Amino acid sequence: MQPFPPCPKCHSQYTYQDQTMLVCPECAHEWNPENEMGAENSPLTVKDAYGAILEDGDSITVIKELKIKGSSTAVKQGTKVKNIRLVEGDHNIDCKIPGIGGMKLKSEFVKKN
């Protein structure tokens, strides 16, 4: 039996193979060891509305009023958000907005401070 590499996300040693993918049972991360050997180790690249590269911990400003689904409130244009976290997906910024709470935002509606 061939030993599998540790999970690139959480570094767990308990990875296993499921068809062509490797799977981590601790964080549920799946990756293809042939296609993504170097891609998993490279950081996630997210750009704001003006093309500036965002990083974890950056401060941003909302450039458009954003209505909150299922609520009568909105995130006002010009709202400043500190200490963002980048995640994969359509809404690629995870943050806490003052007065509203935890939210996910799309990077196309923010600018880096």
Q: What is the pLDDT of residues 89-111, one digit of tens each?
A: 899 999 999 999 999 999 999 99
Q: 90, 19, 100: which is closest to 62 by C-alpha?
A: 100
Determine phi and psi for 107, rounding to 5 degrees.
-65, -20
Q: Tell if the pTM clears 0.75, that is, is over it.
A: no
Q: ∠ CA(2), CA(5), CA(13), 5° rounding?
A: 100
Whole-number CA gyration radius for the chain? 18
Q: Is the pLDDT of residue 62 over 90?
A: yes
Mean pLDDT of the chain: 88
Amino acid 70 reads: G
Give the Å distances, CA to CA, from 3 to 6, 22, 30, 68. Answer: 9, 11, 16, 47
Categorize the per-residue pLDDT at 40 as very low, low, confident or very high, splitting at 50, 70 and 90: very low
